[in-house]
Amino acid sequence: MKCLTIRQPWATLVALGEKQFETRSWQTAYRGELAIHAGMRVDKAVCRMEPYQSALARHGFTAENLPKGMIIAVSRLADCCGVTPEQAQQGWPGGNEYVFGDYTAGRYAWKLEAVSPLVHPISAKGRLGFWEYPVLEGEQ
DSSP state of 137: T
Res. 136 pLDDT band, cuts 50 70 90: low
| 3-class DSSP string for 20-77 | CEEEECCCCCCCEEEEEEEEEEECHHHHCCCCHHHHHHCCCCCCCCCCCCEEEEEEEE
Q: How far apart, in whole angstroms, are the C-alpha atoms of residue 114 and residue 138?
A: 16
- Superfamily of domain 2-121 in CATH is Hypothetical protein. (2.30.130.30)
Domain boundaries, the chain: 2-121
Res. 134 pLDDT band, cuts 50 70 90: confident
Confidence (pLDDT) at 135:
66
pTM of this structure: 0.92
Q: How far apart, in whole angstroms, are the C-alpha atoms of residue 63 and residue 46?
A: 9
